[in-house]
Structure 1
Amino acid sequence: MLSFIARRIGIGLIMLVALSVLVFILLRLAPGDPIDAYINPSVPLSMDELAALRERLGLNQPLPIQYFGWLSAALSGDFGYSTQRAGVAVLPLVIERIWPTVLLMAAGLFIAIIVGIAGGIVSAVRRNSALDVGFSVGAFIGISSPAFLTALVGLYLFSVQLRWAPSGGMLTPGAPFSIGDLLSHLILPACLLSIGHAALIMRYMRSSLLEVLNQDYVRTARAKGVKEFWVIIKHATRNALLPVVTLIGSTIGIAIGGAIFLESVFNWPGMGLLLVNAVNTRDYPVIMCATLIVGACVIAVNLLTDITYAAVDPRIQVG
């Protein structure tokens, strides 16, 4: 197990470097001059001043030298300063935005896992019933609904029309902090984020459990007189969870993309909103740092998923 973890960490570091190279190149290939992000358009600069600024920032160097200069600084924890926030270091700015995104994603995935697994079990046990058909239709609608459409419809329906939840932000401006206020802002975007993932988990859980219920050891447990509840929960569900565990790990990366839309729609002060604003303002240091942190989180989650998969099924061997 230790050698497996060490090897996966090494592969993850290589993937992070490849991701940083790709994002660095794409930012340099974007239309416009990178120097424009560092100057005030209302303050005209001479050609000599622009050349001096370009040299000071290292933008006059060849692209490989620029990248390795950035990489060497990043390895020491220096991701530079935001081009749109004077004197604000990038790393603390990005770290400050991590926990709101983690909170939103954790709440959304928690709801998706509970609803998806429970719905999949009920749908499989009550196969071809009206309840199964209803769950299947709802799952297909949830899978087919893009994140931005779900966010906009949910905001309009539950915040604008019904006024059941606040329309944006993480806390009420000017109000003292309280758990109730936080939950009132969190519940709607978390539920909307969970829709697509809950639907996908439900379909996988139903399919996997139906396959397991036809296995010999399940029929043997029933023949021995084991109550149906324990046959489903103890004997069938645990083995049916194996593909679902892998799916849950892979959906976290997808959830980041959905969180970007949700944070933009609900003005949630997390990584997604920060990235969108950084792209709009061409804040290159923030984009690079935020992208690497998101990539590192996805790689870490995939590693934990593999370890969990091996723990759930002792037959899985890692080496």
Structure 2
Amino acid sequence: MLRYIAYRVVLGLLMLLALTVLIFVMLRLTPGDPIDAYINPTIPIAEADLAALRERLGLDQPLPVQYFAWLGAALSGNFGFSIQRGGAPVLPLVLSRVWPTVLLMLSATAIAIVVGIVAGIVSAVRKNRPADISLSVFSFLGVSSPAFLTGILGLYGFSVVLRWFPSGGMLTPGRPFSGLDLLYHLILPATLLSIAQGALIMRYMRGSLLEVLSQDYVRTARAKGVREFWVVVKHAVRNALLPVITLIGSTIGGAIGGAIFIESVFNWPGMGLLMINAVSSRDYSVIMCATLLIGASVILVNLLTDIAYAAVDPRIRNA
């Protein structure tokens, strides 16, 4: 098991290193010159001053030199300064937005896991019945609906038309902090973010449980007179959860991408909204730091998922 964990950790570090290269190259390939973000286009600037600024920022060096300079600074915790925020250090700025995004992600994932597993069990047990058909239609709609569409429709339906939930923000302006107020603002965006993830978990849970229910040991338990409820709960669900564990970890990346749209729709003060504002203002330092942190989080979640799956199923670590 320790050898398997060490192998997965090394592989995760290599993936993180490859991610730094990808982020750096992709941003350098975007249209325009990075130096444009540092100057005011309405104010004329001499070529000598422009060249001096480019040299001070290291933009006159070859790309490999620029990459290793940035990587060395990043490893020491220096991700540069935010142009949009008046020269504020990037790392504290990005870290200050982690908590709202983590809260939104954990809430959405918890909803998706509970609803997806329960709905998958009901759908499998009630195969080809009205409950199964209704849940299957919901799952197909949930998987095929992008986050920005569900976010806009949910905002319009539940905030504008029905006025059940606030239309944006994390807290009510002008009021002291309250857990109930935070929950009131969290319910709608977290639920909308969980739709695609929960629908996918439901489909996998349904298929996995149907496969397990057709196994010989399940038929043997039924033949012995074990009640159907205990056949499903005690004998089938536990084994059917194995592939779902891997799925939950793999859907975290998609949920993070969906969180960017949900945060922009609901003006949720997390990393997604910060990244959108940084892209619109071409704040390269913030974009690189936030993207790297998100990518590292996805790699870490997948690593923990693989370890958990290997702990449950010894065949994985012995393969």
Instruction: Give the TM-score band, short-chain normalised.
Output: over 0.9
Q: What's 1:119 paired with? A: 119
Q: Which moved more, 1:205-214 or 1:223-232?
A: 223-232
Partner amino acid for 2:224?
K
Judge conservation of contact 2:124–2:207 (CA < 8 Å) in 1. Answer: yes
Amino acid at match of 2:49: E
Distance 2:318 2:280 in 1: 44
- Secondary structure of the 1:19 match is helix
**Amino acid aligned to 1:293:** L
Q: Could you tell me which runs of 5 or more consecutive residues in structure 2 were left unpaired when the two chains were aligned.
A: none
Q: Distance in 2 between matches of 1:9 and 1:308?
A: 14
Shift of 1:318: 4.2
3-state SS in 1 of match to 2:81: coil
TM-score of the superposition, structure 1-length normalised?
0.97
Shift, 1:196, TM fit: 1.1
CA distance in 2, matches of 1:318, 1:252: 26
Task: Tell me if structure 2 keeps the 8 A contact 1:97–1:271.
Answer: yes
Displacement after TM superposition at 1:87 (Å):
2.9
- Comparing 2-11 with 126-135, greater Cα deviation is found at 2-11
User: Would you say how many aligned residue pairs link Structure 1 and Structure 2?
Assistant: 319
* Whole-angstrom distance in 2 between the partners of 1:161 and 1:153: 11
8 Å CA contact 1:80–1:90 kept in 2: the answer is yes
CA–CA distance in 1 between the matches of 2:218 and 2:114? 24
Write the distance in 2 (CA, Å) between the matches of 1:243 and 1:16.
25
Amino acid at match of 2:94: V
C-alpha offsets along residues 140-160 of structure 1, whole Å, 9 cap, x if unaligned?
Answer: 111121111110000000000
AA matched with 1:220? T
The answer for unaligned runs of 5 or more in structure 1 is none
1:270 matched to 2:300? The reply is no
Report the 3-state secondary structure (helix = DSSP H, G, I; strand = E; otherwise coil) of the residue aligned with 1:43. Answer: coil
The superposition leaves residues 250-289 of structure 1 with CA deviations (integer Å, 9 ceiling, x where unpaired) of 0000001100110010011111111111111111111111
Cα RMSD (Å): 1.3
* 1:82 match: 82
Asked if 1 retains the 8 angstrom alpha-carbon contact of 2:4 and 2:317, the reply is no
5 Å matches for 1:1-319?
1-318=1-318
Over the matched positions of the two proteins, sequence identity in percent amounts to 72
Tell me the distance in 2 between the aligned counterparts of 1:298 and 1:36: 32
Matching residue's letter, 1:114: V
TM-score, length-scaled by structure 2: 0.97
Contact 1:239 1:313 in 2 (8 A): no
In structure 1, how many angstroms separate the alpha carbons of the residues matched to 2:165 and 2:42? 41
Contact 2:212 2:236 in 1 (8 A): yes
1:79–1:89: 8 Å Cα contact kept in structure 2? yes
**Does the residue aligned with 1:115 lie in a helix, a strand or coil?**
helix
SS at match of 1:79: coil
CA distance in 2, matches of 1:108, 1:270: 14
Deviation track 1:145-182 (CA, whole Å, cap 9, x = no partner) reads 11111100000000001000000011111210001110
- Aligned equivalents of 1:9, 1:79: Cα separation in 2: 24
